[in-house]
Amino acid sequence: MKMLKKDRKQRVSGFTLLEMMVVIAIISILVAVLVPTVRNYLTRSRLHTANSQAKVLFNSMQTIMQEYEFRERGMKESAIYGAAKSGDLLLYVVNGNINKDQFGSGSVAASLDDDILGTNFDSAPASSIGARISRIYTDYLTTTWCVKVKDYSVQGVLCASSANTPYIGGYPLQPSVRGAQCAGVSLERLSSVTAADLDTYCTEAWKPAPAPVEETPADS
């Protein structure tokens, strides 16, 4: 009986060194395959979210500008554009606060007062652009975005979860790569986007598609 117990104890053993090396090699291969896949999935997911938010902002801003245009159609002056009733309105918004000086004096926003623009979310008048956007767009206080409006018509929106993240979405052109070029504009971070960058992005977004080239039949 004692010999049987001794033999049973001797037969119980762990993995050999070779078996451990094989297991470690298999795990390493799986990690090498899975990590890039998961990383790419997260990147696509974040960009998809940013692009979706940019589209919502585009439509929300267009709704507001159409309301202004309809209301001011018979007026001599526009609350936004003045007597000219035309111009470029460039807005840069961080967590609900509009920085009307971000794009310089070339934007109509630089000349607008808080009653029209609503630069600060906490004190924005209910009829201002900022307050109207906040009522339509639920993530207004947690998003950084910029928009170009030309003559009451929204030209383009760039959007991100913060000013320094490389995961930037856009509409109508939607970036598909993190921190890369889109429509000739470097999208490393939204805080570095200039008025010229936004103009380039919008110009490319509305550029007509090239006409298809007709193939001439080969001589028989």
pLDDT tens readout for residues 94-127: 999 999 889 988 899 999 998 999 998 888 899 9
pLDDT tens readout for residues 137-146: 989 999 999 9
* Structural domains in the chain (count): 1
Which tokens is 42 given? 């997260």
Inside any domain, residue 155: yes
User: Residue 17 corresponds to which amino acid?
Assistant: L
> Given strand 144-150, what is the order of strands in its sheet?
97-98, 88-94, 144-150, 153-160, 169-171
Nearest to 139 by CA among 92, 95, 90, 93: 95
**pLDDT of 5 higher than 60:** no
CA atoms of 33 and 59, how far apart (whole Å): 40
Which tokens is 141 given? 């206080």
Inside any domain, residue 76: yes
Which tokens is 123 given? 């004190």
Q: Region 128-136: what's the mean pLDDT?
A: 93
Inside any domain, residue 17: no
**pLDDT of 197 higher than 70:** yes
Average pLDDT taken over every residue of the chain: 84
* Residue 187 DSSP class: -
Cβ-proximal residues to 94 (8 Å cutoff; 6+ apart), any chain = 144, 163
Inside any domain, residue 88: yes
Cβ-proximal residues to 86 (8 Å cutoff; 6+ apart), any chain = 151
Cβ proximity of 143 and 150 under 8 Å? no
What's the pLDDT score for residue 214?
Answer: 63
Inside any domain, residue 33: no
Inside any domain, residue 8: no
Beta-bridge partner residues of 158: 146, 170
Inside any domain, residue 151: yes
Percent of the chain with pLDDT over 70: 82
Inside any domain, residue 87: yes
Higher pLDDT, 147 or 185: 147
Range of the domain at 153: 41-205
Cβ-proximal residues to 149 (8 Å cutoff; 6+ apart), any chain = 61, 65, 88, 89, 90, 91, 155
